[in-house]
Each structure stands twice: as structure tokens, then as C-alpha cells.
Amino acid sequence: MFDDLWTWETPFSGDFPLLRSLLEDLLSPAAGIADLRSVPRGSFPVVNVGETTDAVHVYAFLPGVARDSLEVNVEGNLLTISGTRDAPQTEEGVSWYRNERFAGEFTRSLALPDTVDPNQVEATLKNGVLTVQLRKRAEMRPRRLEVKAA
């Protein structure tokens, strides 16, 4: 008599494995992460940020971006890199099986430390790498004091 209750299925019982899979993908520690350095998937350009005693250095990797289509702004403690990367020229009639190269407009903003002087910034583009050097404020740089004899 109760054997039918054990085999009874709800209309949604087939969707539970799908729901579980979606939740695992969403909540997994690597969701949205491209690599070990925690770059959010789809971030462009990829950047490296380092610091010396005199400056903060930002390296943005921008292959295929022309200098004329690039804009670098520093406003307060926010560095913004924006521009446009054109799609590569290909032969007519090519069918893509996979196309991972981003083309179009982009914007990437980075928060800078308070030690940076927004008035002393240099930016250069060479071989697809944008180098931005942000000098530190003079009062924030370490300085050596002379010790006098008493």
C-alpha cells in the first residue's frame, strides 16, 4: 500500500541536479576568477601594480591598442585607463570556432594609495605595455636624517 509513496516524484525533481550544479558554480571559490592572482574574468586590460620607495608603478597589458585610442586619467586616488581595441583583420568568409580576443571599448579603474601625488604622473606605451609611473608625495617618501654629534 505504501510502496507507491517511495517512487512518487514531484514535477520538479528532475531540476534539482541542475539547480545544485548552478549553485556550486556560483558559490565555488573560483567563480569569476581567471587565475591565481584573482583577476576577475573579463577584466581588460590585465595589470601589474608595484611600488618602490619613490613611486607606484602600474603596467597595463594592451596588445593591439593604438596610442591614439588610449586615455589615462588620474583623479584624486583613482587611475582610469580607457580606450578602444579594434578587431583584427581576417580573411572574408572565415568561420570562427572560438574567438577569445576582446575588441571594442574598455575601461579599467584602479584605486591608488594615499601616498601618490596625482600631479606627478608619467605614462608611456611600448610594445603593447602601458607603463604608468605615479610619484609619491615628497612628505610620504622615506628620507635619511643626518645624525649630529652632541
pTM of the model: 0.65
pLDDT at 7 exceeding the cut of 60: no
- Interval 37-79: pLDDT, tens: 455 656 789 899 999 988 999 999 998 899 999 999 999 889 9
Is residue 98 a part of any domain in this protein?
A: no
* pLDDT on residue 9: 56
pLDDT at 139 exceeding the cut of 80: no
pLDDT at 32 exceeding the cut of 50: no
> Residue 110 belongs to what domain range?
44-88+103-141
Is residue 134 a part of any domain in this protein?
A: yes
47-56 LR contacts (CB < 8 Å, sep 24+)? 47/81, 47/108, 47/110, 49/110, 51/113, 53/136, 53/141, 53/142, 54/135, 54/136, 54/141, 55/133, 55/134, 55/135, 55/136, 56/112, 56/113, 56/115, 56/116, 56/133, 56/134, 56/136
Number of domains in the chain: 2
Q: Do both 117 and 81 map to the same domain?
A: yes
Q: Do both 73 and 125 map to the same domain?
A: yes
Q: Do both 60 and 107 map to the same domain?
A: yes
Is residue 130 a part of any domain in this protein?
A: yes
Question: Which CATH number characterizes residue 82's domain?
Answer: 2.60.40.790
